[in-house]
């Protein structure tokens, strides 16, 4: 009976240990957040004892958490051994604020460009080896665009994909295209890393990139980069339209999309790179 009881209890004990471990990990994260929240809410540096008392945690636990947060630059330690929010949090906050401002500005300009051009307009960003559609304004016509918000395609398939990596060092571009370039459904996408790397650099310098029929039949895209203070392409704005239209009147669409990208950069204060 004892042996049977032991055998039956074993799975439960293992599950219990795994649950406890998961809870322990979550608890550690929760404790770290409690420390950060306490400092944020009080608005001033505090000592370890005061923090431990305020959040109701063992002093030894709080010491370990704070040492870890200081090591990771999420907290900073003052000369009197009090701690305060670290520089890493400040950078996270700036990035978050910039993203909110940027998306608001880009969204407004995207809809304006769609109205002016009479075509579908997208704002795209980079997601690793892929270009991703971040926002989209449908044109008033019947032309259907298959890529919607959240769509991810290989960087070498699109005009935006080239721009998004055009600011990278040459070797980094080559290495990137070496492992991420893929054949497109139409078979027209360039896959040679050297050609892609050079065209990416030239497109960014010209602030315009055009592709036609590379990812979808009879579909063209004309894109312009949105660059930050350092000249890095953080996103693109592009017009997606029937291939014949860009063939018939390329100057119109390139001028419109470049002007939109420049307006976004101007509003964001990013024109110092130009």
Q: What is the pLDDT of residues 245-271, one digit of tens each?
A: 888 888 999 999 999 999 999 999 887
Q: How far apart are CA 14 and CA 189, in angstroms?
A: 52
Which are the contacts of 99, defined by CB distance < 8 A and separation ≥ 6?
Answer: none
pLDDT at site 212: 81
Q: What's the pLDDT score for residue 216? A: 76
* Mean pLDDT taken over the chain: 86
What are the distances in angstroms from CA 56 to CA 37, 48, 61, 63, 214? 13, 12, 11, 13, 60
Cross-strand pairs, 152: 132
pLDDT by residue for the chain (274 residues), tens only, comes to 444 344 444 444 444 444 444 444 446 889 999 999 999 888 899 999 999 999 999 999 999 999 999 999 999 999 999 999 999 998 888 887 777 789 899 999 999 999 999 999 999 999 989 999 999 998 877 676 777 888 889 999 999 999 999 999 999 999 999 999 998 888 888 899 999 999 999 999 999 999 987 777 788 899 999 999 899 999 999 999 988 888 888 899 999 999 999 999 999 988 765 5
Which residues are registered as beta bridge partners of 135?
A: 123
What pLDDT is stored for residue 28 in this prediction? Answer: 82
Q: Name, in order, each residue with C-beta under 8 angstroms of 89's C-beta and a sequence gap of 6 or more.
A: 36, 74
- For the chain, give the number of residues: 274
pLDDT, position 273: 57
CA distance 210 to 140: 22
Closest Cα partner for 237 from 129, 116, 140? 116
Q: What are the structural domains of the chain? A: 2-85 (1.10.10.10), 99-273 (3.30.450.40)
**Reported pTM:** 0.65
Tokens of 157: 């398939």
Q: What pLDDT, in 10s, does the model give residues 46-98? A: 999 999 999 999 999 999 999 999 999 999 999 999 999 999 998 888 887 77
* CA gap 272, 274 in Å, rounded: 6
Which whole-number Å values give the CA distances from 94 to 1, 87, 88, 91, 142, in the listed order?
64, 11, 10, 5, 40
Query: Which pLDDT value is given to residue 274?
Result: 55
Strands (E), the chain: 75-77, 83-85, 120-127, 130-137, 152-154, 209-212, 219-227, 233-242
Edge-first strand listing for the sheet containing 152-154? 152-154, 130-137, 120-127, 233-242, 219-227, 209-212
**What is the distance of C-alpha 231 from the center of its chain?**
17
Structure-token match 């030894």, residue found: 60
Reading the block at residue 271, the tokens are 């024109």
């Amino acid at each position: 009976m004892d042996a049977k009881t032991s055998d039956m209890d074993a799975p439960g004990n293992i599950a219990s240990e795994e649950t406890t471990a998961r809870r322990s990990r979550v608890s550690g994260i929760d404790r770290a957040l409690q420390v950060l929240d306490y400092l944020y809410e009080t608005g001033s540096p505090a000592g370890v004892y005061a923090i431990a008392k305020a959040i109701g945690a063992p002093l030894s636990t709080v010491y370990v958490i704070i040492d870890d947060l200081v090591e990771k630059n999420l907290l900073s330690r003052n000369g009197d051994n009090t701690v305060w929010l670290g520089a890493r949090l400040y950078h996270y906050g700036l990035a978050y604020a910039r993203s909110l401002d940027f998306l608001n500005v880009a969204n407004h300009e995207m809809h304006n460009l769609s109205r002016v051009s009479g075509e579908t307009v997208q704002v795209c960003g980079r997601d690793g080896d892929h270009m991703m559609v971040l926002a989209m304004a449908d044109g008033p016509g019947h032309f259907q665009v298959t890529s919607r918000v959240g769509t991810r395609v290989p960087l070498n398939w699109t005009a935006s994909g080239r721009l998004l990596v055009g600011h990278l060092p040459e070797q980094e571009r080559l290495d990137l295209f070496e492992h991420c370039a893929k054949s497109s459904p139409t078979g027209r996408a360039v896959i040679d890393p050297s050609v892609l790397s050079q065209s990416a650099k030239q497109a960014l310098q010209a602030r315009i990139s055009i592709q036609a029929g590379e990812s979808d039949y009879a579909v063209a895209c004309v894109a312009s980069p949105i660059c930050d203070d350092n000249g890095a392409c953080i996103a693109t704005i592009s017009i997606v339209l029937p291939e014949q239209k860009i063939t018939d009147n390329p100057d119109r669409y390139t001028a419109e999309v470049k002007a939109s990208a420049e307006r976004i950069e101007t509003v964001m204060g990013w024109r110092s790179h130009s």
